[in-house]
A and B are shown apart, each in its own frame.
Chain A
Amino acid sequence: MKRFITKIVIFVVAAYLLALGLDYVISSGLANSLGHPHQAWREIRSGKYASDIVILGTSRALEHYDPYIIDSITGLKSYNLGVGGYGINVELMKYRYYCHYNTQPTYLIYDVDQLPLSIMSVPHQHQSEQFLPLFYDRTIRKDLMDVGYSWMDSYIPMARYWGYQIHSKRGIFEYFGLKHYCDYQSYRGHMPDPDPWDVSRLQFSDSIPSHVDDEAKKMFLNFVRESQESGVQLIFVTSPVYYRYVEMSPDWNRYIAWFDSIAQADNIPYHNYMNHSICRDSTLFNAGVHLAPQGTKLWSEILANDLVGKVL
């Protein structure tokens, strides 16, 4: 029995060390990956992307706000912190991470609509592989636990990579320089969606929560208060939505009204583009709530010009 237990202990220790090494290789490989979505986290961590304007929100923020255009019109530097497929808990986690490695922005554009008003669990959701290498960074580990990862993900090597075999393989290849994966590259966090218009995406995905979470509302209000206290100028923006989508989603207007009431109460500039003429041109969209690249360029120009005239 003693011999057996000794062997089991040796096996467990060896297995742990092996898994630890593998975890490190994969995480390092992914963290240094050139392409989206790891690219933005790496840029943030580098501390070289401190910006005057930071854009916050969901995939609508990620895809709609082109920092290249905004910077060229405003003369300021901007960075897009949009994170696709998640709610306010993940958006704020990314913002805190940004603030840890970079100076606080002067302006914070929050792309507001129904979608940030939810709290979502991260593991195994849309592009959740972007969070896996971050566990080596103590500054965000607790936040990652708060968005749904367990202690096992944090302390058992390779546990969080289970079910991510494509990304594990990529991490190894990247680490050893065997192959570099760069399917999509973002520009200062901005990642347009190149897909063509697809009428089936008009009503958006069923996986997106249609309800508003009270906890998310509370989180949003706290964030507004904290931002104002720390001297960051908040700007609410609702980027264009294809008009037929709004017709099919009557709740949308209710949430917009809620943001409007906060903006008025706290004296926050609010630019709502839901009724802009852009919203009636399907050639500028590729889904009900997502602008196509040509729409993004056009609208970023409009927004930047409006901001220069009214806020900045």
Chain B
Amino acid sequence: MLGVFKYYNFFVNSFADLFSLQDSIHSLKIVLPLGISFFTFQAISYVVDVYRNKIATTSLVDCLLYIGFFPKLLAGPIERPTNLIPQIQKSRVFEYDLAVDGCRQMLWGLFKKVVIADNCALYVNQVYSDYSSQSGSTLLLAAILYTIQIYGDFSGYSDMAIGSAKLLGFRFRDNFLFPYFSRNMNEFWRRWHISLNTWFVDYVYIPLGGSRDGKWHTIRNIMIVFLLSGLWHGADWSFVAWGAYHGLLLVLLILLNRNTKYEHVVAYDKILPTFSEFGQMLLVFVLATFGWMMFRADNMSQFIDYTARMCTTDLLSMPKLQGNTILLMNIALMFIIEWFMRHQKHGLDFKVSLIHNYTLYAAMRYILYTLIFILILLFGGHTENFIYMYF
């Protein structure tokens, strides 16, 4: 299915470009079904897990519900049959705490989507549509805002999906765990789009041998996984390059013996990170931003041109903010809240009290909900489709 709908034209056109056969190729004019990459992967999971005897075959209705369950249909999280099908099959009772947590997670997701991502998109789209006439600093700011946009957009969708599933009594797998608070790219990929990455680990990386057969096999397997991951995101060489770039970053970590697998979140028992941790997080953010520049570009030549224009002398000039000071403040608010909630699952995950005084804690929570609600009312409304819906 993916081969026909998503990759046929890409491979045929690439082949034609390579051998100058543009006039004689036949490309398909078909509409890509929404969320095809997500539900196809879930269907593969089901088939493989049944084959591996991890789960018994289910009724057609249960199987279809597993694949097409509406909260996650368009853009994940990519659920596993071992997690979701037993929940479908058992009778559910209403769980107050789960439903409340679901509402909070939906509110947080909505905030990230409509206040952060959609407003970043306004700036980013405007800059990208006329990037050749922008200063280096404006191009840099647009690249940074895209890094935040894609996080707000995709993790916002995931939070809303997971939250709405909780309202219905379902527990989905985590999909984002504050990835920009990572100390190296390995940790980043354990916190970014977790459901896809673990899918690749379980169904590609480990069957290929994982890290069992020495360093070079590990490197080979990592590169295969990331090239496939790039291709999963889109049928274009810029996505393949993006996957290769991230694969190479991980390979570099392995070669430099810096592939630390952190057990705890950054600054685990502290309020603020150390300078060293801050530097590590900044480096991850910079590396991720460079990757997202590839991801955002229409093609590789645009990415190269954009990067070249960005790295000019006016990179150090003042970027055009275009009245986006409030957006920057909202972004700061999002990161501050997430920093304090980084031990939890999402930005409004108040399962564990952070303060001993319950009344004060409850008051703070309600003030925060109100603030977020007001921000959604005031700064929402620029309709932007979900980025990952097209994958």
Contacts and interface: CB of A to CB of B under 8 A. Distances in A.
Interface of A: 1, 3-4, 7-8, 15, 18-19, 22, 158, 161-166, 168-169
Chain B interface mostly: helix
Contacts of A169: 326, 378
A166 B374 contact: no
13 contacts: A1-B94, A3-B96, A4-B100, A7-B100, A15-B373, A18-B370, A18-B373, A18-B374, A161-B377, A162-B380, A163-B382, A163-B383, A168-B378
B120 to A, nearest CB: 13
Contacts of B119: 165
B323 interface: yes
A139 B53 CA distance: 70
Given A163-B383, A169-B326, A19 B96 contact: no
Given A162-B381, A163-B382, A166-B323, A22 B374 contact: yes
A163 B96 contact: no
A99 B374 CA distance: 37
Contacts of B283: none
A165 B268 CA distance: 37
Q: Taking each of B94, B373, B381, B383, which has the highest tally of chain A beta carbons within 10 Å of its own beta carbon? A: B381
A87 B148 CA distance: 40
A265 B379 CA distance: 53
Nearest to A158: B377
Contacts of A8: 103
A287 B253 CA distance: 60
A189 B291 CA distance: 52
Contacts of A7: 100
Contacts of A163: 380-383
Contact of A4 (B94, B326, B370): B94
B377 A4 contact: no
A165 B379 contact: yes
Interface string B295-334: 0000000000000000000000000000100100000000
Given A15-B373, A162-B380, 16 more contacts: A1-B96, A3-B96, A4-B94, A4-B96, A7-B100, A8-B103, A18-B373, A22-B374, A22-B378, A162-B377, A162-B381, A163-B382, A163-B383, A165-B119, A165-B326, A165-B379
Interface residues of B, number: 18
A1 B326 CA distance: 39
A8 B103 CA distance: 9
A162 B382 CA distance: 7
A7 B100 CA distance: 9
A165 B383 contact: no
Interface in B343-360: none
A158 B374 CA distance: 10
A196 B379 CA distance: 34
B96 A22 contact: no
Interface of A, secondary structure class, is: helix
Nearest to A166: B323
A165 B94 CA distance: 38
Nearest to A15: B373
Contacts of B94: 1, 4
Contacts of A18: 370, 373-374
B373 to A, nearest CB: 6
A18 B380 CA distance: 16
Interface string B19-47: 00000000000000000000000000000
Given A1-B94, A169-B326, A19 B377 contact: yes
B99 interface: yes
A163 B377 CA distance: 9
Contacts of B373: 15, 18
Contacts of B103: 8
A182 to B, nearest CB: 17
B374 A161 contact: no
Most A CB atoms within 10 A — which of B323, B373, B383? B373
A7 B369 CA distance: 13
Contacts of B96: 1, 3-4
Contact of A165 (B99, B100, B381): B381
B115 to A, nearest CB: 9
A170 to B, nearest CB: 11
A3 B379 CA distance: 31
Contacts of A161: 377-378, 381
A24 B104 CA distance: 27
A169 B374 CA distance: 12
A119 B73 CA distance: 39
A8 B373 CA distance: 14
B381 A164 contact: yes
A166 B103 CA distance: 29
